[in-house]
Amino acid sequence: MKYAKETIELLSAYPGRDFRMIEIVRYVGHKPCGNDKHRVRIGVARVIKQLLEAGSVATRPLTDKGSYKAYHWKIDT
């Protein structure tokens, strides 16, 4: 996975803090634009999917119309 290191680095540095997908993409891609932004977003989405399946990352459910999905590193309790 191309963006796994950067994604894990960001999420694990702030366990419990919610990150929107665009925040992760900007961190990983260093403010990409155009086709680069789409390419980075797809790569980050693949990493997030694997981390969700592994149980390392959780999502905050959508609550209201217009809200966004947020991802956070799980805190071990």
pLDDT in tens, 56-73: 999 987 777 777 889 999
Neighbours of 38 (CB within 10 A): 12
* Tokens read off for 52: 């969700």
Question: Residue 35: is its pLDDT beyond 90?
Answer: no
- The correct answer on CATH 2.60.40 for the domain covering 4-73 is no
30 band by pLDDT with thresholds 50, 70 and 90: confident
Specify whether the CB–CB gap between 14 and 73 falls below 8 A: yes
Q: What percent of the chain has pLDDT over 70?
A: 99
Q: pTM score, two decimals?
A: 0.87
The mean pLDDT value for 44-48 works out to: 96
